[in-house]
Each structure stands twice: as structure tokens, then as C-alpha cells.
Amino acid sequence: MTPVRLFAGGALVLAVVVVGVLMLSGGGITRYDLTFPNAGQLVTGDDVQIGGRRVGNVKEITLTDDNQAKIEIELEDDFAPLHRGTTAIVRATSLSGIANRYIALTPGPDNAPVLADGATLEAGATTAPVDLDQLFNTLDKPTRKALDDVIQGSAVWYDGAGKDANKGSRYFSPALSTSSRLLNELTSDQQAFTDFVVSSSKVVTALAARRATLTSLVTNANATTSAVASENTGLDQSLAVLPSTLRRANTTFAGLRATLDDLDPLVAESKPATKDLAPFFRRLRPLVAEARPTISDLRQVIRRPGANNDLLELLRKAPRLQRIAQPTFRNSIAALQRSTPVLSFIRPYTPDLVGWLRDFGQTTANYDANGHYARIQPIFNAFNVNNQVLVPKGDAARALGSVTNQFQRCPDAASQTPADQTTPFRDADGKLDCDPTQVLPGP
């Protein structure tokens, strides 16, 4: 064999070895172990994805000593190694299928320590899926029965509505397209979506703890809806007159805008005063607190259990009292109107009457050993004054009427007229029915 042929054969063998190594290596494989509470219907060969792209597959599924699922996965070297902080969750491509699960990885930050080949992600970094049967198992028997009724009721609802359902199916594709965009937005930030699901779970748990209250709420809402439905005729009439009402209200609303514009200056002027309202209300608070007993007592006065013991029952009897008292009030008004001239005539003589009572009492109160100072003896005027000279009257003039003959004296006519000539009193308008010439004799 010539050296040339020997060299060519060696080169061929070397090329075969290089190709074999490259083919056997296949770009390299990195293995990791994931620990889940359960396998979540995973099977060997299921995909391992990062960001929706297949980066590996499930190699083996085994059971650990503490009865947890140990999932061995293989990743292509282009997506390995993983870093500490990586999380894994088992997802399903749909809710209704089986054996359609995959593992979604969320890689840790690049500056975190690298996970070596064969490292294990413990249960704290993994999440198992929640299947529909697990969800249904959390419901009690009455709730499952109610859900069954809903499904059967939906069947009755759609019975005979095939044509309408076919019309609705035309919009199914746009709805799916929109839903796809929505799901893409949801899965774009898996951590935020996970937090949302966890928070929703807490909300549902809180609602489940108050299922009795929710049941009462639904029952009351049903009763309210039934009451509204029973008044469908009145509701239909109200809806019929609503357009005309709105048209009429449009004019009012148009005028209201101008009114609000006019109120702007008032509001602007009121703003400085409003700053004093808060201190005023703080000071008013103790008064309101102390007024509670008073308000309570007032409430008892206005309305109290029992018969004939509060203001409401008194007001109910007021119409009867009004019918009885109306003639009496009418006669009283007439009597007062007739007595007004009498009172008007007597009123100016009040000082004379009071003075007489006062002076008479003082005069007759004092006494000595001979008795009271006052001696009462009727004396009639038997003289006339003529140029400051007393002239005796005749015997015929000694009768009381002929001596005095003063029956229409004016107020203050019982005393001598002072120098300012302010007596006798004639009232403001000078119409008092009296004779100013009837005065005491003498200057």
C-alpha cells in the first residue's frame, strides 16, 4: 500500500469518527428533577416549554419516599443550564382533555447561581394543576345538585333555539380570536397571572365561608325580581311615558344650566364661610350627643304604645274639637269685638282706679288709741266759688245730684289742674267720651 492510499484511508476514518461524535452528541442534553405534589396526568414524552416554546420533554416519572411525584426532564443545551429561582408549573392545553399536559418553566435570573446537571427543583418551586374533578369535589352535595340543575336548565333553555344558536355561532370565531388575544395578554406575565389566580382563590374561599349570606342574598334578589315581574304592566306603562317625560324634562334641564351658572357667584361667596363649618360641627357634636335623651323623650311624646297617650292621637281628635269649639270661638270673637269700645273707654281710668285703691288702703291702715285715722263721713259741696269767695247754696241744691252732677269726668279730673294744663286727659285722638268741663270746684 502506497503512502498516499494510507493517508487517504486515515483521513476517511478520522472523518467518520468526527461525524459520529457530532451525531451522538446531538447538541447536548441536560437533565433536571422536578418534585410535584402529584404528577398532574403527565406522561413520559410530554413537552417542557419556556415562554410557549418546546425546549425539552418529560423523561421519567417516579414516586418519592414521601409519596410525591418526581419528574425527570431533559432540556436541550441551548436552553440550559437553568439558574436558581426557576419555577415549574404543570399546565393543560385545554380544560376538557386528558394526557394533554406540559411543564411550563419560568427561568430564574441570569445573575443567580447555576443549577448543575441533575439538580432538583423542590416542591416549593413547583405547582401542580387543579383538575375539574378536584374542583367539583370541593363542592358539597346541594351545590353539586344546583350545578346539575343549571346544566339541565341550560338544556331546556336551548331546546328549540337551534336557529338562534346558529346565528350566534357566526360570532363564535371573533369571540375566540378576541379570547386568544386576551389569553396571550394573560400569559405574557405568568407571575402576575399566578398572583391573580391565588388572589381569586382567596376571594372564592372568603365567599364560600359566607355562603349562607350569599344564599339569602340570591333568595332576596329572586323575590325582588319576582315582585318587579309581577308589576310588568305598570312597568310597561312607565316605560311608555318615559320618552315624553324626558322630552319635557329636557327644557327643565336646559334652564337648569343657566340656574347653575347663576349659582356660581353664590357658591364662590359661600366658600370662605364653609371653612368655619368644621369647627362649628365639632362644637355641635356634644350638643347632638346630649340631645339624644331629649329626642328620645320627644319621640315618646309624639308616639307612644298604647291608646290616648301621645300627640298623634291628640291630633286625630283635633278635628272634632275644632267642630265643637268653632261656634264658641265665633261667639267669643263677637263678644270681644263688642267689648272693645268699653275697654277703650275704661283703659284711661286705670290710674284713677289704682290710685284710689292704693290711697284708700294707706289712709285707712294707720290707727291710734281712738281707732283708725280715717273717719268716713259723706260731705256734699254746699258752696259755690265766686271770685274766690264761698257762696252758700240754697237748700234745694244740697242733693248729691244737684251739688255734683258730674257723671262724665275725664281721667285725672279728680285732682286740681296743674300749671301745665295737662289734665284732664283726653286720649291721643281726643275722642274719649267724657266731659272736660266736669272738674273739681275752685281754681
What pLDDT shows up at residue 400? 44
| pLDDT tens figures, 213-269 | 888 888 888 888 888 878 878 878 888 888 888 888 887 887 787 888 888 888 888
| pLDDT tens figures, 326-335 | 888 889 999 9
What pLDDT shows up at residue 9? 56
Residues of the chain below pLDDT 70: 1-28, 94-99, 363-364, 370-383, 385, 393-405, 428-430, 441-443
What pLDDT shows up at residue 56? 92
What pLDDT shows up at residue 22? 43
What pLDDT shows up at residue 29? 85
SS (H, E, C) the chain: CCHHHHHHHHHHHHHHHHHHHHHHHCCCEEEEEEEECCCCCCCCCCEEEECCEEEEEEEEEEECCCCCEEEEEEEEHHHCCCECCCEEEEEECCCCCCCCEEEEEECCCCCCCECCCCCEECHHHEECCCCHHHHHHCCCHHHHHHHHHHHHHHHHHHCCCHHHHHHHHCCHHHHHHHHHHHHHHHHHCHHHHHHHHHHHHHHHHHHHHCHHHHHHHHHHHHHHHHHHHHCHHHHHHHHHHHHHHHHHHHHHHHHHHHHHHHHHHHHHHHHHHHCCHHHHHHHHHHHHHHHHHHHHHHHHHHCCCCCCCCHHHHHHHHHHHHHHHHHHHHHHHHHHHHHHHHHHHHHHHHHHHHHHHHHHHHHHHCEECCEECCCCCCCCCCEEEECCEEEECCHHHHCHHHHCCCCCCCCCCCCCCCCCCCCCCCCCCCCCCCCCCCCCCCC
